[in-house]
Structure 1
């Protein structure tokens, strides 16, 4: 019965929206899961996590498997203890921070295509109303999408990502993470080995530190789009662990 299964909540990352899960959601729905893919506001780690925690508290009942991609991994790490009955975490090409760590700090020295001295060589920056001092919206330059973010997707798909990307505030990447939910909640991690945004060595280190069940796939930063079956299998395994 559908109500015997955990609810699956999928949290997108930066430069994306809930449509980044389009290859994953229909198969899970066909298997009887309730799947929810809320917006991630991409404004700051504390406020983004608080929003997702509030969403979990109000929109779910019973056990939850909480899934995060990229920056969404940092969000679920901070949101999972704040609302809902989260029983498992799934990280897809995601940040898995420990307390006090920042996205920028984790990327430093990793070889990431985004860890550059001048961010405007890979990002386009634009102000937005109400932005804190020094904050701006960051968009991936089209060439960054094509070469480093989604290089294993067909060119039309890369062009679509570049055109429809949802920007993230620079503030989100410099906010220290809080106490991590992965210390007390079991986790799974899908790691694209050809990821140029979060290089594989960094992802392995974070996933191993979290004690995650790890699956690697020959894929870019958007493995849930290019190789959705791997993400599906990880979500299924996490769901099966919820008794």
Structure 2
């Protein structure tokens, strides 16, 4: 499904086109020199952090800062939250711009995306799941969540989500988590209320079709995996995460924390990512 297109992607502009782009935008040469430059001079893998639904890349800020201070190149590309297939295709296109080994990390719904995007990608040396779905073939977010005791989202959708129509899309809507539910689902009491309010206001919606799109063959069947499980997770119950992690033969670490465990225990999450990175040597 995802063909390698690195060579093609680097030749799209050509020398003249790149020069015209620089002239048009005023961007200095080094800033558009390509992904190879940003990874030069290091043998450590690049760590790509993929956020989950109702979030953005800032959810990784604490972990990214720790990884960078330890000498890792880090990227937090936006997850479009438009559906598993499309999100995985966009992530795979981004991975194709990176030279060298990659440790691919997903949080929550991001686990669905990395499991599909990494399939067959020889540069991805390790997968890390942080309070995330580790889907098998044909699993969906809905199937992995709806019947789980303890998940805040295993409820009538009208009590959990505010729905906003997507113009031009039939039978598809953007789902926002209701403010009254957001803190209970993602943070419990581990994150100050003022910070939860900001996270709630900043949330990016998940397209409703993403809940029902089945996962394909899982990349974790051929790529070593690690996981971090927050024992107070109210979105993906810890017991279910353990089942999924065992199925994937993931190296698993449990920690006291909510669904947003990378905010409450960034050192632990960073340590697990670096363990995965060292295993790629």
Q: Which structure exhibits the higher relative contact order, with contacts defined as CA atoms closer than 8 Å and separated by 6 or more residues? A: 1
Any stretches of 5+ residues in structure 1 without a counterpart?
none
- The structure 2 residue matched to 1:123, chosen from 148, 161, 167, is 161
> 1:11: which partner in 2?
50
Matched residue, 1:198: 236
Q: Please tell me the root mean square deviation across aligned C-alpha atoms, in Å.
A: 1.2
Aligned residues: 240
* CA–CA separation in structure 2 for the residues paired with 1:220 and 1:121: 21
Q: Distance in 2 between matches of 1:56 and 1:84?
A: 11
1:53 match: 92
State how far apart, in whole Å, the 2-side matches of 1:143 and 1:2 are.
Answer: 48
Correspondence 1:1-243 to 2 at 5 A: 3-58=42-97, 60-81=98-119, 83=121, 85-111=123-149, 112-116=151-155, 118-131=156-169, 133-151=170-188, 152-243=190-281
The residue matched to 2:196 in structure 1 has which SS? helix
| 4+ long deviations beyond 4 Å | none
- 1:81, CA displacement in angstroms? 2.1
> For 1:219, what is the secondary structure of its paired residue?
coil
Residues 79-133 of structure 1: CA deviation (Å, up to 9, x unaligned): 01255610000000000000011010011221211011x20101111012233x3
Mapped to 2, the partners of 1:228 and 1:143 lie a distance apart of 26
Q: Matches of 2:122 and 2:57 in 1, distance apart?
A: 20
Q: Distance in 2 between matches of 1:130 and 1:63?
A: 40
Q: Secondary structure at the match of 1:25?
A: helix
TM-score, normalized by length of structure 1?
0.96
Please say if residues 122 and 141 of structure 1, whose CA atoms lie closer than 8 Å, have aligned partners that are also in contact.
yes
Residues 187 and 210 in structure 1, CA contact (< 8 A), matched pair in contact too: yes
Higher Cα Rg, which structure: 2
Q: Which runs of 5+ in 2 are unaligned?
A: 1-39
- Provide Cα deviations, 1:39-65, integer angstroms capped at 9, x if missing partner: 00000100000000000002x111000
Question: Residue 62 of structure 2 aligns to a residue in which SS?
Answer: coil
